[in-house]
């Protein structure tokens, strides 16, 4: 990886994921990494955003990290965050679940109550689903929303500011704790177990002129890379500006922590800190300018105005 930049193709371990993604793109599919993609389709006069988000035990979570209702909430929130990322209004969820038949009834009831709670929290309904036998727990959620005025990744313009909601780094800290055999800090655990799709926040940003938007699912630097590639611009991130969650282990975790489901948006240069204060007062959530958009490509990471390497440890949990 060259100094101070990360390319769009630096997503998957060993490049294998990109190879597979290339295959799907060759077939004309809008396949993307988990959690940051919607298909935008028009049916009759209805403009819809539709997305699917597949979570598999062992890949996306370990048994024992979370309670069943938390696994359900998290899967629901991750899928619904795809809708938030384009400024869509969630309508419904379909849930496909693969599970062992001898698990207790309560497990599946709790799991689906978590999915339902995440849906209801953003005004959506669970429309139905499918249930099959599987050795490992598999949850695939398909979400449908109304997207009359979608905000895409592709609209960022040089001179826009780069803004992020919330504070980052806690999910990364939670996963690290579990992987090291420790129970995470309560605050970090809560951010991992109960991410919140930023649906109304996304509407506010759209109505305030957001030119591009994405949810932070692969990590701030990684998702800024997606946005830069889609918009054919360079995203400059001033690392000292990045809001670090109180439960994060280290400031640089905020740059790489994935599955945050906060929003990364580009807003016109005229969007001010006073505007951000209005957002914070309305939602009780920080909105922080972390950098800006320039001509070029990729992500430029600055510390005290100097380009620096993308921090080691950049990986997606997925």
Nearest-angstrom CA–CA distance, 291 and 64: 38
- Record the tokens describing residue 114, joined without a space: 């978590």
Least spacing, CB of residue 265 vs its own copies, in Å: 22
Closest among 41, 86, 108, 56 to 215, alpha carbons compared: 86
Residue 109, C-beta contacts closer than 8 angstroms, at least 6 positions apart? none
Distance, in Å, from the CA atom of 233 to the CA atom of 214, rounded to the nearest integer, reads 15
Q: How far is the CB of 257 from its own copies (least distance, A)?
A: 19
Which of 61/271 has CB closer to its own copies?
61
Nearest distance in Å: CB 38, its own copies: 8
Q: What is the rounded CA–CA span in Å between residue 177 and residue 66?
A: 13
CB of 74 to its own copies, least distance (A): 14
**Closer to its own copies by Cβ: residue 95 or 167:** 95
Q: Would you say 115 or 267 has its CB closer to its own copies?
A: 115
Please answer whether residues 54 and 34 qualify as being in contact, where contact means their C-beta atoms are separated by less than 8 angstroms: yes
d(CA 1, CA 270): 33
Smallest gap from Cβ 131 to its own copies, in A, equals 5
**Token pair recorded at residue 197:** 């799709």
| Per-position DSSP letters for 188-215, written without gaps between them | HHHHHH-----HHHHHHHHHTT-SEEEE
Minimum Å gap between C-beta 84 and its own copies is 16
Question: By C-beta, is 93 or 233 nearer to its own copies?
Answer: 93
Comparing CB distances to its own copies, the nearer of 52 and 297 is 52
> In 3-state terms, what secondary structure has residue 19?
helix
Q: Which is nearer to its own copies, 58 or 270 (CB)?
A: 58
| Strand pairing report for 161-165 and 263-267 | antiparallel
In the complex, least distance from residue 166 CB atom to its own copies, rounded to whole angstroms: 24
Distance of CA 117 to the CA centre of its chain: 19
- Cα–Cα distance for residue pair 267/160, rounded to 1 Å: 5
In the bound state with its own copies, the residue whose beta carbon lies nearer, of 179 and 295, is: 179
């Amino acid at each position: 990886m060259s100094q101070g930049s990360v390319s769009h193709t630096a997503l998957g371990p060993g490049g294998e994921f990109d190879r597979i993604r290339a295959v799907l793109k060759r077939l004309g599919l809008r396949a993307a990494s988990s959690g940051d993609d919607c298909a935008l389709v028009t049916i009759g006069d209805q403009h819809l955003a539709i997305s699917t988000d597949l979570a598999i035990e062992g890949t996306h979570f370990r048994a024992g990290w979370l309670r069943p209702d938390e696994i359900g909430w998290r899967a629901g929130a991750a899928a619904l965050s795809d809708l938030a990322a384009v400024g869509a209004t969630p309508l419904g969820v379909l849930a496909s679940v693969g599970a062992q038949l001898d698990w207790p009834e309560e497990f599946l009831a709790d799991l689906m109550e978590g999915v339902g709670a995440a849906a209801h929290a953003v005004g959506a309904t669970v429309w139905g689903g499918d249930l099959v036998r599987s050795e490992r727990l598999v949850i695939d959620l398909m979400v449908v929303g109304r997207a009359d005025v979608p905000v895409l990744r592709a609209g960022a313009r040089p001179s826009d500011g780069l803004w992020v909601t919330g504070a980052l780094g806690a999910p990364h800290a939670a996963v690290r704790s579990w992987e090291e055999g420790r129970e995470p800090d309560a605050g970090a655990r809560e951010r991992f177990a109960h991410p919140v799709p930023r649906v109304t926040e996304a509407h506010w940003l759209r109505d305030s002129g957001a030119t591009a938007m994405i949810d932070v699912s692969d990590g701030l630097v990684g998702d800024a890379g997606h946005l830069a590639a889609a918009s054919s611009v360079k995203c400059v991130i001033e690392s000292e500006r990045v809001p670090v969650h109180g439960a994060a282990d280290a400031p640089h975790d905020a740059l790489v922590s994935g599955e945050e489901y906060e929003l990364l948006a580009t807003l016109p240069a005229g969007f001010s800190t006073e505007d951000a204060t209005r957002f914070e007062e309305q939602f009780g959530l920080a909105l922080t300018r972390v950098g800006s958009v320039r001509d070029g490509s990729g992500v430029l990471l600055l510390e005290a105005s100097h380009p620096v390497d993308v921090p080691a440890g950049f990986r997606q949990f997925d």
